[in-house]
Amino acid sequence: MSNLEESSSKDTEKCEITEKIISLAQNNPKGISDKDISQHLPDLTPAHRVGIINKLLQQEFFDLFNQNGNLIYRLKDPTKKTSVKGADNEEKVVYAIIEEAANKGIWIRDIRFKSNLIMTQLNKILKNLESKKLIKAVKSVNASKKKVYMLYNLEPDRSITGGAWYQDQDFESEFVDVLNQQCHRYLQQRAENSRNHPAGPLIARNFAYATAKEVHKFITELGISKVSLDIEDLETILNTLVYDGKAKKKIGPDGNRSYKSIDSLLPPPGLVATPCGVCPIIHKCSNSGLITPQLCTYLSEWLD
């Protein structure tokens, strides 16, 4: 056999092995390890396996993960291929972990746990990825002294930024108060206009209710907000009116919610006056853990 024929035969064999490894990964969407590859291809030498795997990683066929000290190769979604040019395997592991966290981000402690890297090495990798504008660090409102990492081009989730109620990590209590008053005023005007409705009492009663979409349109036309508010933001404010005893909520057969102004028989409970009243992560607050009333800086400032 000539050298050319021998080289062609080796290339064909290498392509067949590569296809078998990709096929194995396709049948195991959670990922495959070096042990899985060795069991599936017992005649493949470690040196050849490493060469083929490195080639597949460079071509972005695989995402690389560290699971309990073992490298796991997971077939990458072709629609989500990302280019981490010049990155070594450790950088790709860290990038993949951050990518998986999506727009909610991930703390450095969790990255360290998942990557199994020492802190000095991890800090260096994070700085490299930040300098390449592949990832970014974002401060979280539920832990102002800690940062979470996410991909550079992602917009942080509301649970991280606090949504419209926070500006540079500060709770905008005055802004919330103004919105609360204007939403209440709109519901009061709606109720007042419904009392003399010509179509009768039943129609008048229904007309007194307003949806969050209608309130959102009213607030938008007022132009009192410098930030963009969505319907969910206005529902949060309307719910504080319900908690405060100034409005009641009705849920229709189709699941749509509407609100009506009511006359309070008792003094309002004042929940809306606290940061808890419009906190976007109140559902995560408990007596223990990272998010507690005892550790909440916004509640402490409000009490002072």
Domain of 31: which CATH number? 1.10.10.10
Query: Is residue 273 pLDDT above 60, yes or no?
Result: no
Residue 11 is predicted with a pLDDT of: 63
Counting the structural domains of the chain, the total is: 2
**4, part of any domain:** no
- C-alpha closest to that of 22 among 45, 46, 55: 55
Q: Is position 1 within any domain?
A: no
User: Is residue 230, in this structure, part of any structural domain at all?
Assistant: yes
Look at residue 30 and tell me whether its pLDDT is greater than 80: yes
Same domain for 154 and 191, yes or no, is no
Locus of tokens 């979470």: 148
Alpha helix positions (H), 78-143:
89-100, 108-115, 119-131
pLDDT at 288: 79
Residue 86, phi-psi category: left (phi > 0), alpha (psi -120 to 50), beta (remainder): left
Tens of pLDDT, residues 37-94: 888 888 888 888 888 888 887 777 777 777 777 788 888 765 555 555 555 778 888 8
pLDDT reported for residue 4: 41
Non-local (6+) Cβ contacts of 157 within 8 A are: 102, 103, 104, 105
User: Is the domain of 93 the same as that of 66?
Assistant: yes
Judged by average pLDDT, the poorest of 99-113, 128-142, 190-204 is 190-204
CA-nearest of 197, 165, 117 to 272 is 165
Q: What percent of the chain has pLDDT over 90?
A: 3
Least confident of 61-65, 110-114, 213-217, 273-277: 273-277
Structural domain boundaries, residue 146:
9-158
Q: Choose the final residue of a domain: 158, 188, 216.
A: 158
**Is there a single domain that holds both residue 227 and residue 117?**
no
Question: Residue 21 is which amino acid?
Answer: I
37-41, 142-146, 281-285: least confidently modelled range = 142-146
* 60 vs 76: CA distance, rounded Å: 7
Residue 88, classed as helix, strand or coil, is coil
* Domain C-terminal end among 104, 123, 158: 158
91 shares its domain with 185: no
- pLDDT given for residue 203 in this prediction: 65
Q: What is the model's pLDDT at position 124?
A: 92
Question: Which of 94, 129, 131, 96 is closest to 115 using CA atoms?
Answer: 94
Stated pTM of the model = 0.45
User: What stretches of 84-202 adopt beta strand conformation (E)?
Assistant: 106-107, 135-140, 143-151, 166-167, 170-171
> Does one domain contain both 98 and 175?
no
pLDDT greater at residue 141 or residue 213:
213
Domain boundary among 142, 158, 174: 158
Task: Note whether 15 and 52 are within 8 A (CB).
Answer: no
> Is the same domain home to 39 and 151?
yes
145 lies in the same domain as 209: no
The pLDDT of residue 29 is above 80: yes
If asked whether residues 139 and 194 sit together in one domain, one would say no
pLDDT of residue 167 exceeding 70, the answer is no
- Whether residues 152 and 240 fall in one domain: no
C-alpha R_g of the chain: 28
* Closest listed residue to residue 95, CA positions, set 117, 66, 60, 126: 126
User: Does residue 116 sit in the same domain as residue 188?
Assistant: no
Give the mean pLDDT of the chain: 78
